[in-house]
Structure 1
Amino acid sequence: MFWLKKIVSQLFMPVPLVVLLLLFALVILRNRKLVRSILSIAVLLLVFLSSTPGSNLLSSQLESQYPVNSGPIADGCLVMVLGSGHDESISGTAIQQLSSTALARLSEGIRQFNLGRDCKLVFSGWSGGTGSRAHAEVMADAAIELGIPKKRIITFPLAKDTIEEAQFMKWEVGTAPFRLVTSASHMPRSMSTFANIGLSPQAAPTDFITRQGYWWRLDAHNLWSSQRAIHEYVGQLWFQIKHERDILLPNENAQIVDR
């Protein structure tokens, strides 16, 4: 089901969707009226999703739900940073290997860590099934490079998605409150997922993609922002479907970083 979700969700992303529409138009080339309609839809979709007003309309609905969190944290706090991505083909330290999204989440996680005393940072994320290092371990190394003591880090290297990240955190903290750090567009789905199994997350959004720009400019950045927003809407739909099933806690133990 995990891989099925990944494959199906790609069909709703801007570029694959427009390509599929164009391919369909080629298949039915003899029906000129229908071809013109499909081509018009494809062009309008591309223009809307690659424009600043279009991408902001999609992302702002997600990012406006939770404000930036700068409140102090009680002693003995936990700050959980949800996984994103990294690339081990890039030579250098763990920081250089992190994606821009992962870097934004890491920096906010460290900022939240510094808002309390005796806090611990929790990183999640698996290897992606490629046999490479788990993303949680790379995030932990990057945090250590930035001065976080390794004894203050917990990793969940087996968590593949937001639902599994919530399951592992449930095993770790029960109902105790903690700061949840993830991208602002991802925060609504994350909060719903974590709250659904009885956790008490406090939202700490980062990596905002809703930005001011020229209304007439069409570019790849806007298309990328639209894709991230659509990914979240599809993820929310998947969560509603998944919500009908019982969520079982994983048997695997979380791993404490000690290298």
Structure 2
Amino acid sequence: MFEIKKIIGGLLMPLPLTLIILSLCLLFIAKQNKKSYLIAWLCVFATWFISTPYGANLLIEPVEKTQAPFDIKKHKKLDYIVVLGCDVYANSRLPANGQLGGCALSRLVEGLRLANAYPQAKLIVSGYGFGKTTGADLMAETAKSLGIAKHRISTNPTAKDTADEAKLLAPKLVDRKVALVTSTSHMARASDLFYVQGVDVIKAPVQFYTYKNTPTHKLFIPDSGVLRAVTSHWHEVIGKAWIALRRFINPEAL
């Protein structure tokens, strides 16, 4: 009974419910244009598939297997801990941590874990934003409110993307022990961009999205959170393709 309740409840969530309604509509619309009709069905099935834990795991797990969490026991010293920026939801009514999205908070928490483990290391928080509100400043304020001394924190609020972050931070990071904190999906691209700037980072990935242990009754039900995870990985596919194109046109780029 519990599983049945969860299955019905899951199917009534906005994403699966919308896909079900679209499927029902397709059953009753005219089918004169068979190619368009077939493409519409393929789109529905594809969206359903990549939104399920089963489908997402097939796409994401091969990437995540190449990454491992930062192991404090393996590294005796760090000079810098670099936390790359992520989602920001500016709202002056909220404290700094309340304006950071889940991705930014996940990265910052890992940065704070490492900052506590390596008290001599400097914490660099990065990230662009909107107007006067930047991800870097919000993460700095949150870090200070959680006990990290102000003199240990520096910000990088002007970088608009990862390539900018690497270029702007590289001068102080070259030949230093640097832990790079970013999402697992983003780590390969980010570490490559830093490496090109002469910074050989120690990877500290967060936001692992493995779905292989999902309960059976949830495996094939679409979920917006799962679709968001797949989207973040697809974003990296596009990002890597863009870098490859830029470097093909100009080997000195990025």
TM-score in terms of structure 2 length: 0.80
Q: 1:30 to 1:90 in 2, by over 3 A?
A: farther
- Within a 5 Å distance, the mapping from 1:104-115 to structure 2 comes to 104-115=106-117
Q: How far did residue 75 of structure 1 move? A: 4.6
**Of 219, 223, 226, the match for 2:227:** 223
Q: How far did residue 85 of structure 1 move? A: 1.8
**Structure with greater helix percent:** 2
Check if 1:241 corresponds to 2:242: no
Q: Distance in 1 between matches of 2:108 and 2:165?
A: 16
**Residue type of the alignment partner of 2:72:** G
Q: How far did residue 76 of structure 1 move? A: 5.8
CA contact (8 A) 1:124 1:165 kept: yes
Q: How far did residue 71 of structure 1 move? A: 2.3
Q: Distance in 1 between matches of 2:145 and 2:183?
A: 22
Q: How far did residue 30 of structure 1 move? A: 8.4
Which residue matches 1:202? 202
**Deviation sequence 1:61-111 (CA, Å, 0-9, x none):** 322212011225445610000000221226221111110111110000011
CA contact (8 A) 2:137 2:155 kept: yes
Report the structure number with the largest CA radius of gyration.
2
- Within a 5 Å distance, the mapping from 1:1-259 to structure 2 comes to 32-72=33-73, 73-75=75-77, 77-89=79-91, 91-127=93-129, 130-211=130-211, 212-213=213-214, 214-244=218-248, 245=250, 246-247=252-253
Q: How far did residue 31 of structure 1 move? A: 5.6
Instruction: Report how many aligned residue pairs link the two structures.
Output: 222
Q: Distance in 1 between matches of 2:167 and 2:62?
A: 27
Q: 1:31 to 1:163 in 2, by over 3 A?
A: farther
Q: How far did residue 58 of structure 1 move? A: 2.0
**Residue type of the alignment partner of 1:58:** L
Q: Distance in 2 between matches of 1:98 and 1:118?
A: 26
CA contact (8 A) 2:78 2:177 kept: no
Which residue matches 1:252? none
Q: Distance in 1 between matches of 2:244 and 2:42?
A: 28
Q: Distance in 1 between matches of 2:32 and 2:170?
A: 55
Q: 1:31 to 1:242 in 2, by over 3 A?
A: farther
**Counterpart secondary structure, 2:201:** strand
**Residue type of the alignment partner of 2:172:** E
Q: How far did residue 201 of structure 1 move? A: 0.3
CA contact (8 A) 2:166 2:194 kept: yes
**Residue type of the alignment partner of 1:233:** V
Identity in percent: 31
**Residue type of the alignment partner of 1:123:** V
**Residue type of the alignment partner of 1:151:** H
Q: Distance in 2 between matches of 1:132 and 1:207?
A: 28
Q: How far did residue 49 of structure 1 move? A: 1.2
CA contact (8 A) 1:70 1:112 kept: no
Q: How far did residue 247 of structure 1 move? A: 4.2
| RMSD over aligned Cα atoms | 2.4
